[in-house]
Structure 1
């Protein structure tokens, strides 16, 4: 049998190295990546295998604070947008009329009244919706109470017994009749 390295050592050696590199590359692609080297695997830090309540508390606090900060930034942005909307209207009033102080004050007062009016309308709508929800809840609760009393009375009838301990068939037959009539 011939050995692979027989013949010209330079040409045959490089071709076998090239073939093995090609096979290795093909295997790596087939297996989905090169994986970790032995060195990197040995130096890896162990993952969190145990539950640490202190870290969980710190993370909760971090997320809570982040939520507050984002909410604060949102309100600042909202206020800045409102101020930007009111500024051009006051600058138009200054360019159009000579009375710079009085015209802008009236416009601010009008916008304040408008905002107040919008607030009142929204509050009234919310109040009306709340009252409707409460009325619906009250009606549902009354209906549930009626059903509970009806079930209690029916249960009492179904549990009635004769002197010898046999169930009273009169009530059971009535119940069966009502269920049949209700289904049809």
Structure 2
């Protein structure tokens, strides 16, 4: 009984399921609701069981949303139209400058002359390639000789430095020699002093 009483009553209040009408729920409101539902289904893509999963995914995806966006399409059309106008304007400016400037008519002749001179230069370069190679080899030999000289100088300086270091070490060992009682040996110190005095004279 409870279930039957529930069915007889309106499920969403006393004004029916869609709640916008002022009439109480009845056969007319059900028919109106069904009609509205059919209209919505037709608007969304036909009455054959609603939208397919593929159509629904295409509508929801953001990439396709931009593809059929009328505002974006309008912007693109305006952009292309403006680009056409700009290219026409540039062409007309170029045409006007060619008509007004007589020197602008001769670029083809200048181009021909430069091409001919380039061809001549190429021929000369082919003939002179052996001389260029000789110059390159001479320069390379000179650089090699200079490098070897630099290396020899560096090596000589290095040897001198090593000899001086060995001499200094030997002198230092002599200078710090001590007797059995711990006194410094004065012989080497006096020799060092004499050498320094003779060197200064």
Same fold (TM over 0.5): no
TM-score by length of 2: 0.40
Bigger Rg, which one? 2
TM-score (norm 1): 0.43
- Greater relative contact order: 1 or 2 (C-alpha under 8 angstroms, separation 6 or more)? 1
